[in-house]
Amino acid sequence: MKIRKEVMELDPYVPGRSQDEIAEEFNLKKKDIIKLGSNENPWGPSKKAIEAIKRDLNTINRYPESDLTDLKEEIAKYSGVTSDQVIVGGDGADELIDVLAKVFMNPEDEFIVPIPSYMYYEFLFKPYGAIPIYAQWDLDSNTLDIDSVLDSITEKTKMIFLCSPNNPTGALIPQKYIIKILETTDAIVVVDEAYFEYSRVNNVNLINDYPNVFIMRTMSKVLGLAGMRIGYGLANAEMIEYMHRIKPVFSLTKLSYIGALNTFKDKEYIEGSIEKGIKSRDFLFEELCNIKSLNVLKSYSNYILIGVKETEFTASSLSRELLKKGVIVRDCTSFKGLDEYWIRVSIGTMEENKKFISIIKSILQ
């Protein structure tokens, strides 16, 4: 077998652990586990979406429609664009990252990622032979180091990933920074707005002025559909058309499509999820700030990054202690740009938050 060198260089595959395995190892009941590790919406999906899915279950022997016209129209309305400026991804936003690579990246081309940020950009781009160039996120001020991005731009730069609010640090990238970058290069600037609803801020206004901006979003967060793998992208119609040439035709499942369509129509659910999410985050932030040994970063998203260097724990040992008591958080040791002292905690329901705060206090005292 002649495996490509890009694949040989990747780490061997280690399957994730299921909740059942975690429950068994730590002798927990699966229903008692508090999931604060994946930035999901803890209040569940839209009930109207669930009802619509139920009505269509008997047709899943048929292929999905390929055009998705009405879904694109709903997304356009929700986002304030036209439907020819919308592309839908069938594996969350991750499929769109892959499509971006296919449309724009040749081997040896460079892409810029300020670190720490979402690690999956790199996972998806490396198989194309594209080269990651790391810019910096300043952790002390929790802001993008804009100069480190500008200094990284070369003739080989084909794409720049800007995550706002940034995962895992939680802060926003000011629009003037994004504009400065857009005006410095004709590389594609991907603004990852997976969590934008929690900040009430977005950058959609840029797509009519800048042909090289791509706004990337997901339904896995506030919109409550992580399990159904739906993402979407917004850009000028020309870029969208090229992306459609290459996007897999049927990658969105029939039930994902129905769930997505009916969630966008359920305005009450969306607004409720945003309000509860912001309240939950602000509660968590205040409570965590009261624990003196933690370095709690201000967040505009549905997770909070916490430095634990002043405690007796590393991220790994603290995560394990939390797991023993039934709380899953994200140990951020594997994030490039973070040392071994950071964990990321997603918002939970208020009940989950209170339990988590009580558990982490008991561990740290």
Site for a second copy in 236-275 (CB under 8 A): 238-239, 241-242, 244-246, 248-256, 259
Among 194, 197, 202, 229, contact with a second copy (rule: CB under 8 A): 229
Site string for a second copy, 89-108 (x = CB under 8 A): -xxx-xx--x---xxxxxx-
Distance CA 118, CA 192 (A): 9
Residues contacting residue 147 through CB under 8 Å, at least 6 positions apart: none
Binding mask 167-186 for a second copy (x = CB under 8 A): -------------------x
Q: Tell whether residue 227 is a contact of a second copy (CB under 8 A).
A: yes
Verify binding: residue 141, a second copy, rule CB under 8 A.
no
Q: Figure out which of the listed residues 66, 208, 293, 358 binds a second copy, where binding follows CB under 8 A.
A: 66
What letters, b where the CB count within 10 A reaches 16 and e where it falls short, cover 262-282? bbbbbeebbeebbebbbebbe
Interface positions, 270-329, toward a second copy (CB under 8 A): none
For residues 109 and 158, is the Cβ–Cβ distance under 8 A? yes
Residues making up the chain, counted from first to last: 365
**Closest CB to a second copy among 55 and 320?**
55
Instruction: Count the neighbouring beta carbons within 10 Å of the beta carbon of residue 58.
Output: 8
Measure the N-to-C terminal CA separation of the chain; round to a whole number of Å: 55
Q: How far apart are CA 274 and CA 276, in angstroms?
A: 6
Closest distance between a second copy and the C-beta of residue 129, in Å?
9
- 254 Cβ contact partners less than 8 Å away, ≥ 6 residues apart: 56, 59, 60, 62, 63, 64
Closer residue to a second copy (CB): 191 or 225: 225
Q: 61, 141, 292, 365: which one contacts a second copy (CB under 8 A)?
A: 61
Question: Which 12-51 residues touch a second copy, going by CB under 8 A?
Answer: 12-13, 15-19, 35, 38, 40-45, 50
DSSP three-state, residue 227: helix
Q: Which is nearer to a second copy, 71 or 315 (by Cβ)?
A: 71
Name every residue whose Cβ is closer than 8 Å to that of residue 319 and which is 6 or more positions away in sequence: 329, 330, 331, 343
Residues 6+ apart with CB under 8 A from 51: 262
Measured from the CB of residue 318, what is the shortest distance to a second copy in angstroms? 22
Number of residues forming the site for a second copy (CB under 8 A): 81
Comparison of 104 and 313: residue with beta carbon closer to a second copy:
104
Q: Using the rule CB under 8 A, is 228 a contact of a second copy?
A: yes
User: Among residues 1 and 200, whose Cβ is nearest to a second copy?
Assistant: 1
Find the binding residues for a second copy in span 108-137 (CB under 8 A). 124, 127
Asked whether the beta carbons of 72 and 251 are under 8 A apart, the reply is: no
Is residue 87 a contact partner of residue 96, using CB atoms and an 8 Å limit? Answer: yes
Q: Which is nearer to a second copy, 63 or 176 (CB)?
A: 63
Task: Out of 26, 60, 271, 275, point to the residue binding a second copy (CB under 8 A).
Answer: 60
Q: Which is nearer to a second copy, 50 or 179 (CB)?
A: 50
